[in-house]
């Protein structure tokens, strides 16, 4: 039996919150928001991008790290769970024995859109990540088969949308070569997979 989570919680309480379930929550203005389990398509897309980003980090001999489902504090009593985020070794060391919720901006955040997260990924997280000064934010949208790359310029995101055979252009990973169709093919079990 699952109990209803607490109605109000601070960021510090959120870091150690455990309701005995395996549910994941984001903290939004002091309230816990339950995150629905991802679809298989979502898992496959995140896995593909995680593998690609880690390979690029290794190829560049960088000390950066890529994490799945880590938290990012976006306000006094706000914390979001990212699908992927790239951080520096120093940022990871700060949280080595603590909850993986970064309070400094990751280098790159990737969110994969699902039907219930459209407004959250395009509107709320966009403004929160900009306010936190996350320099690059990708919105990977399998519903629209497009990837929006948002680059921070003077406190606001400048958006470039990539589709089909276009290769994503990343400021964080300038030599990365991924076409949009590769991402969505990775999430489609009906097509031949090239892993």
Average pLDDT value for residue range 48-53:
98
Of the chain, the percentage scoring pLDDT greater than 90 comes to 82
CATH of the domain at 125: 3.90.1570.10
User: Considering the domain boundaries, does residue 23 fall inside one?
Assistant: no
- In b/e form, how buried is each residue of 22-61, taking b as 16+ CB within 10 angstroms? eeebbbbebebeebeebeebbebbbebbbebbeebbeeee
pLDDT at 195: 47
Q: How many CB atoms lie within 10 A of CB 101?
A: 17
Q: Is pLDDT at 4 greater than 70 in this prediction?
A: no
- The whole-chain average pLDDT of the chain stands at 92
User: Considering the domain boundaries, does residue 48 fall inside one?
Assistant: yes
pLDDT digits (tens, 9 = 90+) for 106-140: 999 999 999 999 999 999 999 999 999 999 999 99
pLDDT at 61: 96
Tokens standing for residue 179: 């076409």
User: Considering the domain boundaries, does residue 76 fall inside one?
Assistant: yes
User: Considering the domain boundaries, does residue 33 fall inside one?
Assistant: no
Q: Is pLDDT at 175 greater than 60 in this prediction?
A: yes
pLDDT at 5: 54
pLDDT digits (tens, 9 = 90+) for 85-112: 999 999 999 999 999 999 999 999 999 9
User: Considering the domain boundaries, does residue 6 fall inside one?
Assistant: no
For tokens 């169709």, name the residue. 181
What percent of the chain is helix, strand and coil (3-state, nearest 5)? 30, 30, 40
User: Considering the domain boundaries, does residue 195 fall inside one?
Assistant: no
User: Considering the domain boundaries, does residue 181 fall inside one?
Assistant: yes
User: Considering the domain boundaries, does residue 157 fall inside one?
Assistant: yes
Residue 7: band (very low, low, confident or very high) from pLDDT cuts 50, 70, 90:
confident
Question: In terms of residue numbers, what domain contains 45?
Answer: 38-186
Of 28, 79, 71, 42, which Cα lies nearest the Cα of 187?
42
Instruction: Give the start-end residues of each E strand in the chain.
Output: 24-28, 31-35, 65-68, 71-75, 78-81, 84-87, 101-102, 108-112, 136-141, 146-153, 156-163
pTM for the predicted model, two decimal places: 0.91
* Structural domain count, the chain: 1
- Which of 7-21, 55-69, 118-132 has the weakest average pLDDT? 7-21
């Amino acid at each position: 039996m699952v109990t209803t989570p607490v109605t109000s919680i601070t960021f510090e309480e959120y870091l150690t919150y455990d309701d005995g379930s395996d549910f994941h929550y984001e903290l939004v203005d002091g309230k816990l928001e339950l995150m629905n389990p991802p679809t298989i398509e979502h898992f496959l897309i995140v896995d593909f991008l995680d593998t690609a980003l880690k390979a690029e980090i290794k190829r560049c001999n960088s000390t950066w790290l890529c994490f799945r489902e880590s938290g990012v504090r976006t306000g006094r009593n706000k914390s979001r769970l990212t699908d992927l985020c790239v951080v520096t070794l120093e940022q990871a060391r700060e949280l080595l024995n603590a909850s993986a919720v970064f309070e400094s901006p990751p280098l790159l955040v990737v969110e994969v859109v699902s039907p219930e997260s459209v407004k959250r990924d395009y509107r709320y997280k966009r403004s929160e990540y900009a306010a936190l000064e996350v320099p690059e934010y990708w919105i990977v949208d399998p519903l629209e088969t497009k990837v929006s790359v948002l680059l921070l310029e003077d406190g606001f995101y400048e958006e470039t949308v990539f589709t089909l055979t276009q290769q994503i252009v990343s400021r964080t990973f300038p030599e990365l070569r991924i076409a949009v169709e590769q991402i969505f093919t990775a999430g489609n079990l009906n097509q031949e997979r090239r892993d």
